[in-house]
Amino acid sequence: MSTLTSFDETEGPDGTHKSDNVPVRDRIPSLKEVYSEHTPLIDKTLYQTINLPQNIPFGCENKQYRTQYLATLIVTIGGFIMGTTLGWTSPAGPMMENGQYGFHITDDDISWIASCMPLGAMLGCPFMGGLVNKLGRKRLMIMLTIPALLGWVMIIWADSVTIICIGRLLNGFASGSYSVIVPQYTAEIADKEIRGTLGTYFQLQVFSGILFTYVIGSYLDVFGLSIACAIVPVVYFCLMFLVPESPIFYLTKGNIIKARWSLKYFRRPFGQVDQELITMQDSLAKTEREKVPIMKAFQTTPAKRGLFLGLGVMVFMQFTGCNTVIFYTTTIFNASSSSISSNVSTVIVGIMAVLSTYVSTLVVDKLGRKILLLYSVIAMGICTFLIGGFFYAKDSNYDVSSIGFIPLLSLCVFIILFSIGFGPIPWMLMGEIFPPQIKGIASSIVCMANWFFVFLATKFFTLLVSTIYLYNTFWLYTLVSVLGTFFVVFIVPETKGKTMEEIQLLLGA
């Protein structure tokens, strides 16, 4: 091992620095010597030095990343909360129609109850864009458990449709906010070798939350289901105190000591972080020197291409039918007259979603983002075409009893390929493609647009079905998948294994 003096070696037992005894040639200059006096990232008392390991023992790679995996599993429980909010409508809808609340709820009421969630999420996104760099990622994730819990409390004790809708708005606000913060935090703490894997954990937790509501909803009434969902934010609140704040946030506040402590936590057990810390400082200092008004920042080629790419993948994520499947799984299976009960079918779909998203975590850093998106959108188009064909045959009075398995099989394949590609990867790309100057605002714009697309897809699904019938609705999703195939082939770049700086060069910086 060739060693330059590390920070630990230049600190005495009393906490004072021993830098005076370190030869000049072995010492990395402070940021004060590198950047101007006006940069907010300078710590005028701290020397930044490097400890470079030449050989990492074979088999230690997993240990090196273990802390990052654990922290990401905890943080992405925010995605689990989002999943319970998304999935609640599927089992709860029939329960509400059956009068479990004690007051009349119509089909139109249920469509509004489902649609209030994405409306609330749209409200959460712009708030987070402005607050994430002021209050910090960890603090905001903890604070958001309050509206999440309050929303469930209102749903549990609702005495009118209006109260249920307000509760859904609050749950949606928390979910939309988590969809901005969690991917950003995950991208900031991850080594580039596993950034893709950790980036898929958010969607894995989302589908786990959806499966949770499907299973619980099969055994409990609407009140028991809502109470079970309300417990999750409480657990999340407690667990979040176990993980540190993002080192990037500390650096933006000029707190190099805490940034170094945070980065050492995520890089345990080796803990040699000085080189990476300097790289982060260099990137942030460069961003600070090149800081321009926000509108001018959006006029750069990487910003415009990143925004177009982010909005594009969200369009194809929503309008290929994913949230229709999630929100109306039970309804679709009831309509298919399958011999398998709708509750069992729904749980099967949820299990497939979780397992396939887990597969995505294993292969995304090996196969790459682009190829998974391509396989995903092609398979989704085929599945929606088959589902449309089934319902066309049924509406045309053909005997479909022998092919009643088609909706279940097609929806399972749809969910599997969606979960491997277009489910997790758009969220992961959002943490990778934006220049630092606009990352917070651009992520909020893309998330807000995504939730607007969710609102359109869920609120007007029933209207679309009544206007052009169920089979034409699914064939419309097929057409969108065809357009999405061309988008992936000609627009989406491959970001596998690239640093943030390399991705910006790829986008035209």
Q: What is the DSSP string of 430-472?
A: HTTSS-GGGHHHHHHHHHHHHHHHHHHHHHTHHHHHHHHHHHH
For residue 196, the model assigns a pLDDT of: 77
Burial 106-121 (b: 16+ CB within 10 A, else e): eeebbbbbbbbbbbbb
The lowest-confidence range among 60-64, 242-246, 267-271 is 60-64
Q: How many CA atoms lie within 13 A of 285 on its CB side?
A: 21
What is the reported pTM? 0.74
The per-residue pLDDT for range 218-227, each reduced to its tens digit, is: 889 999 999 9
In angstroms, rounded to a whole number, what is the distance separating the alpha carbons of residues 152 and 226? 6
Q: Which of 21-35, 115-129, 452-466 has the lowest mean pLDDT?
A: 21-35
Residue 327 is predicted with a pLDDT of: 59
| Spatial separation of the C-alpha atoms in residues 369 and 429, rounded to whole Å | 9
Residues 285 and 500: their CA atoms lie apart, in Å, by 15
Kindly state the percentage of the chain with pLDDT values over 90. Answer: 25
The residue ranking higher by pLDDT, 360 or 143, is: 143
Looking at 67-81, 151-165, 272-286, 461-475, which range is the least confident one? 272-286
Q: Residue 294: is its pLDDT beyond 90?
A: no
**SS3 at position 402:** helix
Please give the torsion angle defined by the CA atoms of residues 227, 228, 232 and 234, in that order, rounded to the nearest 10 degrees.
40
Question: Which amino acid is present at 301?
Answer: T
Q: Is the pLDDT of residue 257 over 90?
A: no
Confidence of residue 36 (pLDDT cuts 50, 70, 90): very low
Confidence of residue 321 (pLDDT cuts 50, 70, 90): confident
Among 192, 197, 198, 148, CA closest to 174: 148
Mean pLDDT of 154-179: 93
- Mean pLDDT (whole number) for 245-259: 85
Residue 35 has pLDDT above 70, yes or no: no
pLDDT of residue 13: 37
| DSSP string for residues in 271-305 | ---HHHHHHHHHHHHHHHHT---HHHHTTSHHHHH
The residues that bridge with 3 in the sheet, in sequence order, are 51
Read off the pLDDT of each residue in 306-320 and give the average, rounded to a whole number. 91
Chain mean pLDDT for the chain: 79
Tens digit of each residue's pLDDT (9 = 90 or more) over 334-357: 666 666 676 777 787 788 888 888
Quick one: which of 150, 156, 157 has its CA closest to 171? 150
Read off the pLDDT of residues 481-494 as tens digits, 9 standing for 90 and up: 999 999 999 988 88
* Stronger pLDDT, 2 or 302, i.e. the higher one: 302
